[in-house]
Structure 1
C-alpha cells in the first residue's frame, strides 16, 4: 500500500468494518459512484494479499450484497479449512516430485508415456 492510497482513504474513506485478519473496509464518504456502484475498497493489514479477504467481505466488496458483514450470518461447514495465504513464488510453495527445485528427478514413466518428437 502506498502513500497515495493511504491519503485517499484518509480524505475520502468511511470505515464500515474490519475482518478477523485485521483488514479494514471502506466506502467513499460522499457516496461517489463508479460504474453505477458506490466505491468500496480494502486496506490490508500487512502484505496486500487478495486471498486474505474472507468470502463474506469479498461478496460485499464486489457488490453482491449491500449488507456490511458482521460475522453473525456466516455459516461454517465441517469441510471448510482455515485460510492459508497464497504461497506461490515463496520458498514454501508446493513443488511436485521432479520439480527442478526439488532435485529434478521424477519417477519413471509407467509405460504409457511416449514423448512427442517433431516430425
Structure 2
C-alpha cells in the first residue's frame, strides 16, 4: 500500500469507517457503498483505486467467521468485473426461483473441520505391511 493512498483514504474516512475497514479488511479503504445483499454484506466501489482493487465487500459475519459461500453469485461476478451492472438489492433476484432452489439456508464449507468429507476404501489391499516374527533365543 502506498503512503499517498494510505493518507488519502485516512483523510476521507471517519474514525469509525477506518476502524471497521482495518478490522475486517486489514487495510484502510474508502469508497461509496453500492449495495447490500440478503446476508447483510456491504459492497463498495472506488474508481480511483487500481483496477482489481476498486471493488470490495465487507461481510456481515464477525472477523474470522467469514465464508465465501455467503457471497451470492451475481455479487461475486460484480466484484470480479465479470458484469458491470449492479445486482438487484436483497431477495428481488430470487422472486421467480424454482422450488428446489432454496436460498434461505446456505451451508458453510466444512473443509478442514471434523465435518469434512473423508473417503474410505472397501477393497482389500494388494500388499500387507511386514510384521516381524519374534522367536525365542536358545
TM-score normalised over the length of structure 1: 0.63
> Counting helix residues as a fraction of each chain, which structure ranks higher?
2
Q: Secondary structure at the match of 2:45?
A: strand
1:84 aligns with 2:107: yes
Residue 37 (structure 2) pairs with residue 19 (structure 1): yes
Aligned length: 100
**One of 35, 44, 48 as aligned partner of 1:31:** 48
Output one character per residue of 1:19-74: Cα deviation in whole Å (capped at 9) or x when no partner: 1111111111x43232xx56111111112211110111111111111111114445
Displacement after TM superposition at 1:2 (Å): 4.3
Verify: 1:5 aligned to 2:22, yes or no. no
In 2, Cα distance between equivalents of 1:7 and 1:33: 14
Separation (CA, whole Å) in 1 of partners of 2:50 and 2:27: 19
TM-score (norm 2): 0.56
- Other structure's SS at 2:28 match: helix
What is the alpha-carbon distance in structure 2 between the residues aligned to residue 97 and residue 27 of structure 1?
A: 43
CA 1:77 to 1:59, structure 2 compared with 1: closer, same or farther past 3 Å?
farther
Who wins on radius of gyration, i.e. which is larger?
A: 2
Note closer, same or farther for the CA distance 1:96–1:90 as it changes in structure 2 (3 Å cut): closer
Structure 2: gaps spanning 5 or more residues: 1-20, 129-138
* Inter-partner Cα distance in structure 2 for 1:6 and 1:18: 21
Q: Which structure 1 residue ranges, 5 or more long, are not aligned? A: 99-105
Equivalent residue number for residue 101 of structure 1: none
| CA distance 1:4–1:94, change in 2 (3 Å) | closer
Structure with the largest fraction of strand: 1
**Partner Cα separation in structure 1 for residue 37 and residue 43 of structure 2:** 8
